[in-house]
Structure 1
Amino acid sequence: MLIKTWFRFFASVPLSLTIFQVFSPLTLATPPRSPDQTVECDILVVGGGLSGSAATYEALLRGKTVCLTEITDWVGGQISSQGTSALDERQTQRDKLFYPQGYLEFRERIEKHYRKLNPGDCWVSESCFLPEDGHKLLFDQLKDAAKKGKGQLKWFPSTVVKDLSIETLPNRGTGQQITSVTAIQHQPVKGTPPLNTEPLSQIIEDAYRYENSPRFDKNIIRFVPKPSKEQKLADWYVIEATETGELIALADVPYRLGIDPRSYLEPSSSSTTGDPYCTQGFTYTFAMEATEDPQTHLVPSFYAQHEPYYSYELPRLANFNLVFTYRRIWSPKEGEKETFGGITYDKPVVKDISMQNWTWGNDYRPGTSQDNLIYTRGQLQATGQLDPGGWMGGLRTDTLRKGEEHAIGYFYWLVTGTTDSQLGYGVKKPEPNYRYLTGLDSPMGTVHGLSKYPYMREGRRIIGRPSFTYEDGFMISEIDISRQNYKDAFYQNNLSPDEYRRLMATLSGLEGFKVLEGTVSPEQVQKRKRSTIYPDSIGIGHYAIDFHPCMTLSPPEAPGNTERAGERQGAGNAYPFQIPLRAIIPQKIDNLLVAGKSIAVSHIASAAYRVHSFEWSAGAAAGITAVFAKKENILPYQLVYSEPIIKEKKLLELRRILDESGNPTAFPDTSIFNDNWDKWK
């Protein structure tokens, strides 16, 4: 049954706010007070999701003191605090178990803990499990890494970064460096409810304010480098691993947000000019349990507004049992076999628990300047968040709240609904024998039952440093990874003749100059059968280009609303791809590395560079790179943007360390000598 406290959370909040209220300076924080403590680190990792955890894991194995901050009180991000504890993996990579060592270790810990890899018997993955166990198993893994490597883990849960001290240090690189970081850790005031009682939207603004409040006591922490006997080019490294790219916005380094303009590099883009407000949808997940008896479900006060959105989406998916078992995260026993839409699964049994993450369900997909979740640089300036002491996380609180309501409404639709926005009436039937799981001991670990933080598919993405071949700054683009047939009429019709010729020239390898000269026509170009190979690769990933597009109108749940036209054009299969070192090095700041979804990728490429194993690979690479750079007294950008002797010797050494430590930088048999990667499906 939906708990009464949930409705109290929203009772005092209006269903809509004016633009003036959203951008009101009243949301800004007061000036800082003096830090309560100073903490020294070799490496500061901001964000405890999978990428931040991977960076921490590798640095601990190498004996470093790592400070790890996280806005929630769980490590793991996707596998825990975001509730998406169903590992997204491609079959070929899974069959070969070709993953980073830490990711494989985590999978082994799941199997050992449950005595099976898939305790949920889900059909979307080979491993679906309880989010609370994801946190516990991963945190144990980090503690064991510290013991094994004689490193030190300094863990700061319920902590947000508020301010950066950035300075130009003479004779220490070409740019600036982060010299200290100010963060705020919050805990409940004595006599008030425990953490995870309220949903994120109700506490996030308080969490970013320096002053104590009736709800939270604050601990102001100043992170600084550990002192060293000798001066290094960088005293420490800061790794950005937040879910939305907070540090890159706070540091104001160049970045992109949302849709990139259509070009020969991003030919499937849905916009000729780009659109920073249209990012992929975010999702508050929740857990529900099959019951023996029908349950009584109270209609949420906001349900009528969101009901016009919900749908099974496609006829082949229009089956409750199929949707429930898709991401079932716990099952006490096997059910009877059932087949729908060509998919066979075990029918739900009593006590089965499922996690919900459904595009036309609890996905919330804003896409306009009135409701976008992640503020653009212009919006950050308008709200004062780029002013000293003004940073508040860079998110629109009202959209977080609407996403929370939307998810709760989806549960109510699943168990009582009879409408379907995409398939019409007569498809959806009530399913009363299910309950919504709430409480601190529930799978999501929250009183309200929603994930502690939404699953973020896309955030701010850095623009890498300019070079001879990337004059506007480095970026991994759609054509670097996609299996798309670019001879399709869409591309000839939507690109200018010059742009189309450049597209085909880029895809033609050694024939490129001939295509540009006109001695070889675009129609003669052979279809490329591999992704771009990078000499500075430091990690790998493989997944389809998977879109959850923003909606056209505001609000997203408006009756008759549609997905942004053309957004799915870029979707489809991708070749196995690499993570080049250039993609994790931002402009301007020399001791900042970027992991997770904020690396230098385009909007379309990011739809593949966002799943569990990729996040781990990017984080592990960032952690090892930071340790290597400090040990060798070299700044990461010098490995790819400096003299050839440094590039060749040091870069090869870094790649050797990554490969030999079980963090592969290339897939087997995917070199320049093999131009056909079709077996990697």
Structure 2
Amino acid sequence: MGYRALNNGLKSFWRCSLGLLLWQSSLTPSNAQSSPKPDKELECELLVVGGGLAGAAASYEALLAGKTVCMTEITDWVGGQISSQGTSALDERTTQREQLFYPRGYLELRDRIENFYGELNPGECWVSVSCFFPDDAHTILLEQLKDAEAEGQGKLHWLPNTVIKDLEITGRKITSAVAIQHQPQPGKPKLNTYPLSRTIEDAYTYEDSDLLKKEIIKLNPAATTTDWYVIEATETGEIVGLADVPYRLGIDALSHLEPSSSSLTNDPYCTQGFTYTFAMEATAEPQEHTMPSFYMQHHQYYSYELERLADFDLVFTYRRIWSPNTGEEANFRGVKFTEPTPGDISMQNWTWGNDYRPGTSKDNLVYTRRQLEFTGQLEPGGWLGGLRTETLQKGEDHALGYFYWLVEGTTDSQLGDGVKTPNPNHRLLVGLDSPMGTAHGLSKYPYMREGRRIIGRVYPGYSNGFTVTEIDISRRNYREEYYVNNLDEVTYRQLWTAIDGLEAVANKDMDIDRIVRRTRSTIYPDSIGIGHYAIDFHPCMNEYPAEKPGNTEREGERRGGGQAYPFQIPLRAMIPQKIDNLIVTGKSIATSHIAAAAYRVHSFEWSSGAAAGIITSYALENDIMIYELIDETYIREKELQSLQKMLNESGNPTAFPDTSIFNQDWEDWQ
């Protein structure tokens, strides 16, 4: 497949983008707007908010079930991580991948990628078995949804460039939603000409602007059903924030459930870093690169990070998404890859590169409830997306600066002088026909690793609300000296009691040294999906601003990282407090800060979304509220058993092979 012609006007791009990327906006304490009369109304059985992998999976299964689905998406691409966020390299664990033990829709997506290119890994990347173009991912996935619509005789209202502005909540239910869909004004630049920070607040504002023409859409329950469901599938937990249900952000306080926490208290400002990805192409001749005006502010951050990674070709091929000609085999400190050749295209997503990692109340990206309230976003019509626009813009600068560092930089913040050398034979791929589909070359939306995480409802053993925690999935050895020395006696005893599976308070005379650690994740009687990935951290930085020279990662944040056992997705983690017809998927399910670092990758998002699509369809067809399926979880209600049977028989597994309380043999699952 020949690659599309790309805009090579890099000089003009820099001149254009510098002014745009310096644009900043600030929120005022009141953004309230009265809702205008809608331009049109749509009826849905399911309203899916967010067109990422979780939202796409929910829509896919609901369409196969014959449902009418409205799916909104802030960008014009479906797919989230694999498309609009540019992280088109599937994060998969070895054993699960070898057994191809995934939901049916995810397996179909993998097959469609392979069929599209004639191979699963057209980029010959080494981080994954599949790296590919983000723009192609949108095309592939949208076709998959359309085929599901035809097969199941459902109806998809695909609403790109659309955000939810307001919700009507009556009692314990969302009864309607108001959306804003935008298009460019006649004669104005096309969408994706400007970076997200330049347009995001405009997109959430009812009135037409100089750049955007708006259409107000009211979304209502279908007249043919007695109810509808709203599925939260956004990247940051937008509907969680807008609906104002209880949630957490950032670090959870140290406890027996979160014994590796880096803080004695909750810290909502320290979330995992976000990343604007970009694509760059290897060229036969050196390219001329102009230093961005903001480069000197950011350059002291960038680094290869570790000596074993300090090789440009290694970094370039890590997430190479296109390789028309296979280069010679190479090896850098034990890592094997094929050398880049002219025409190769790489997607960049690097911790000490284009990751932007704010961690203070001055620059956190996802606003806390208190910040939302202060900025007026919880007032009727006041919602603006719940993000700090200035931090988005800093992340954009940071990513563009990283490209310049890769091609011209000579500093390395972690490894010192003499490590980094220029690599001018590369160009940033910009233009609306580029892999990222933007004039500036950055992804349409940042890759988000963490957003608002709901607090589930109160159940036996979860008096503070249900949450999946660190010790539910981690393989960490809690006999290590750190835990013995740093946890007080009561907390340490509670830790081992919980690990042993006892829900009651331990007998104070119990010999905890005799407890044998289980070698599996927690088994949930209400499991509706699966996932497996390492607990992977991209920690926030200590000081403001994140790119400050000499700044360091939040101490202790990586302690919680490491291997995890294959885990389940409990239905309780998807049901928020206060609202009965809102179901939460993806990164906003009820997990702790540490557990969330594993519950965030591609196949997990698909599994949680697929479950949401099937469960909501089941609930509508059987005239039952989803929370009623688990109000007596420990006796496994008949309806829950019927639902789980439906999930498993449809090819959406709720447990890994041989999962049982008698099977402790999970050490070989890698």
Could you tell me which of 87, 92, 97 is aligned with 1:89?
A: 92
Could you tell me which of 199, 207, 217 is aligned with 1:221?
A: 217
Once residues 323 and 643 of structure 1 are traced to their aligned partners in structure 2, the CA distance between those partners, rounded to angstroms, is 47
Once residues 32 and 458 of structure 2 are traced to their aligned partners in structure 1, the CA distance between those partners, rounded to angstroms, is 36
Alignment of 1:310-459 (within 5 A): 310-459=302-451
Deviations 1:364-411 (A, max 9, x none): 000000000000000001100001110000000000000000000000
2:6 is aligned to none
2:4 is aligned to none
Could you tell me which of 11, 28, 31 is aligned with 1:24?
A: 28
Once residues 12 and 662 of structure 1 are traced to their aligned partners in structure 2, the CA distance between those partners, rounded to angstroms, is 47
Alignment partner of 1:105 is 2:108:
yes
In the alignment, is the contact (CA less than 8 A) between 1:29 and 1:208 conserved in 2?
no
2:574 is aligned to 584
In the alignment, is the contact (CA less than 8 A) between 2:180 and 2:203 conserved in 1?
yes
Once residues 340 and 346 of structure 2 are traced to their aligned partners in structure 1, the CA distance between those partners, rounded to angstroms, is 9
Once residues 362 and 249 of structure 1 are traced to their aligned partners in structure 2, the CA distance between those partners, rounded to angstroms, is 27
In the alignment, is the contact (CA less than 8 A) between 2:17 and 2:440 conserved in 1?
no
Alignment partner of 1:599 is 2:589:
yes
Alignment partner of 1:244 is 2:236:
yes
Shift of residue 517, structure 1, vs aligned partner: 1.0
Could you tell me which of 29, 44, 52 is aligned with 1:49?
A: 52
In the alignment, is the contact (CA less than 8 A) between 1:282 and 1:454 conserved in 2?
yes
Shift of residue 12, structure 1, vs aligned partner: 6.2
Could you tell me which of 161, 165, 168 is aligned with 1:165?
A: 168
Instruction: State the secondary structure of the residue aligned to 1:498.
Output: helix
Runs of at least 5 residues in structure 2 that lack an aligned partner in the other structure:
1-8
Once residues 316 and 13 of structure 1 are traced to their aligned partners in structure 2, the CA distance between those partners, rounded to angstroms, is 34
Once residues 407 and 161 of structure 2 are traced to their aligned partners in structure 1, the CA distance between those partners, rounded to angstroms, is 34
Once residues 439 and 383 of structure 2 are traced to their aligned partners in structure 1, the CA distance between those partners, rounded to angstroms, is 28
Alignment of 1:564-643 (within 5 A): 564-642=554-632
Once residues 248 and 660 of structure 1 are traced to their aligned partners in structure 2, the CA distance between those partners, rounded to angstroms, is 31
In the alignment, is the contact (CA less than 8 A) between 1:302 and 1:405 conserved in 2?
yes
Alignment-mate amino acid for residue 222 of structure 1: K
Alignment partner of 1:651 is 2:640:
yes
Instruction: State the secondary structure of the residue aligned to 2:97.
Output: helix
2:3 is aligned to none
Instruction: State the secondary structure of the residue aligned to 1:249.
Output: helix
1:181 is aligned to 177
Instruction: State the secondary structure of the residue aligned to 1:334.
Output: coil
C-alpha distance 6-187 of structure 1, shift in aligned 2 (>3 A): farther
Shift of residue 3, structure 1, vs aligned partner: 4.4
In the alignment, is the contact (CA less than 8 A) between 1:3 and 1:448 conserved in 2?
no
Alignment partner of 1:282 is 2:282:
no
1:136 is aligned to 139
Once residues 577 and 65 of structure 2 are traced to their aligned partners in structure 1, the CA distance between those partners, rounded to angstroms, is 27
Once residues 55 and 570 of structure 2 are traced to their aligned partners in structure 1, the CA distance between those partners, rounded to angstroms, is 18
Once residues 578 and 670 of structure 1 are traced to their aligned partners in structure 2, the CA distance between those partners, rounded to angstroms, is 10
Alignment-mate amino acid for residue 60 of structure 2: Y
Instruction: State the secondary structure of the residue aligned to 1:195.
Output: coil
Taking structure 1 as the reference length, the TM-score comes to: 0.95
Once residues 523 and 488 of structure 1 are traced to their aligned partners in structure 2, the CA distance between those partners, rounded to angstroms, is 13
> Which 10-residue stretch deviates more, 353-362 or 664-673?
664-673
Instruction: State the secondary structure of the residue aligned to 2:626.
Output: coil
Alignment-mate amino acid for residue 637 of structure 1: Y
Once residues 88 and 101 of structure 1 are traced to their aligned partners in structure 2, the CA distance between those partners, rounded to angstroms, is 17
Once residues 177 and 49 of structure 1 are traced to their aligned partners in structure 2, the CA distance between those partners, rounded to angstroms, is 24
Once residues 160 and 569 of structure 1 are traced to their aligned partners in structure 2, the CA distance between those partners, rounded to angstroms, is 37
Once residues 202 and 409 of structure 1 are traced to their aligned partners in structure 2, the CA distance between those partners, rounded to angstroms, is 18
Alignment of 1:29-44 (within 5 A): 30-44=33-47
Give RMSD over aligned pairs: 1.4
How many pairs does the alignment contain?
Answer: 662
Alignment partner of 1:479 is 2:471:
yes
Could you tell me which of 186, 189, 193 is aligned with 1:190?
A: 186
In the alignment, is the contact (CA less than 8 A) between 2:20 and 2:198 conserved in 1?
no
Alignment of 1:459-470 (within 5 A): 459-470=451-462
C-alpha distance 381-66 of structure 1, shift in aligned 2 (>3 A): same
Shift of residue 487, structure 1, vs aligned partner: 1.0
Once residues 208 and 72 of structure 1 are traced to their aligned partners in structure 2, the CA distance between those partners, rounded to angstroms, is 13
Shift of residue 644, structure 1, vs aligned partner: 7.6
Alignment-mate amino acid for residue 541 of structure 2: M
In the alignment, is the contact (CA less than 8 A) between 2:89 and 2:128 conserved in 1?
yes
Shift of residue 23, structure 1, vs aligned partner: 4.0
In the alignment, is the contact (CA less than 8 A) between 1:505 and 1:516 conserved in 2?
yes
Once residues 131 and 110 of structure 2 are traced to their aligned partners in structure 1, the CA distance between those partners, rounded to angstroms, is 11
Alignment partner of 1:507 is 2:510:
no
Could you tell me which of 297, 308, 313 is aligned with 2:300?
A: 308
Shift of residue 9, structure 1, vs aligned partner: 4.0
In the alignment, is the contact (CA less than 8 A) between 2:533 and 2:564 conserved in 1?
yes
Could you tell me which of 255, 258, 261 is aligned with 1:263?
A: 255
1:673 is aligned to 662
Shift of residue 522, structure 1, vs aligned partner: 1.9
In the alignment, is the contact (CA less than 8 A) between 2:166 and 2:381 conserved in 1?
yes
Deviations 1:486-519 (A, max 9, x none): 1112112222211110100111236x76x81134
Once residues 661 and 132 of structure 2 are traced to their aligned partners in structure 1, the CA distance between those partners, rounded to angstroms, is 39
Once residues 92 and 151 of structure 2 are traced to their aligned partners in structure 1, the CA distance between those partners, rounded to angstroms, is 29
In the alignment, is the contact (CA less than 8 A) between 1:23 and 1:382 conserved in 2?
no
Once residues 348 and 120 of structure 2 are traced to their aligned partners in structure 1, the CA distance between those partners, rounded to angstroms, is 20
In the alignment, is the contact (CA less than 8 A) between 1:29 and 1:392 conserved in 2?
no
Once residues 588 and 21 of structure 2 are traced to their aligned partners in structure 1, the CA distance between those partners, rounded to angstroms, is 32
Alignment partner of 1:4 is 2:12:
yes
Shift of residue 469, structure 1, vs aligned partner: 1.1
1:173 is aligned to none
Instruction: State the secondary structure of the residue aligned to 1:621.
Output: helix
Alignment partner of 1:662 is 2:638:
no
Alignment-mate amino acid for residue 114 of structure 1: Y
In the alignment, is the contact (CA less than 8 A) between 1:129 and 1:330 conserved in 2?
yes
In the alignment, is the contact (CA less than 8 A) between 1:49 and 1:77 conserved in 2?
yes
2:536 is aligned to 546
Deviations 1:500-557 (A, max 9, x none): 10100111236x76x8113432222112201000000000000000000000001110
Instruction: State the secondary structure of the residue aligned to 1:39.
Output: strand
Alignment partner of 1:529 is 2:532:
no
Instruction: State the secondary structure of the residue aligned to 2:299.
Output: helix
Alignment of 1:225-236 (within 5 A): 225-228=221-224, 232=226, 235-236=227-228
Alignment-mate amino acid for residue 574 of structure 2: I
Runs of at least 5 residues in structure 1 that lack an aligned partner in the other structure:
169-175
Once residues 63 and 142 of structure 1 are traced to their aligned partners in structure 2, the CA distance between those partners, rounded to angstroms, is 12
Shift of residue 24, structure 1, vs aligned partner: 2.4
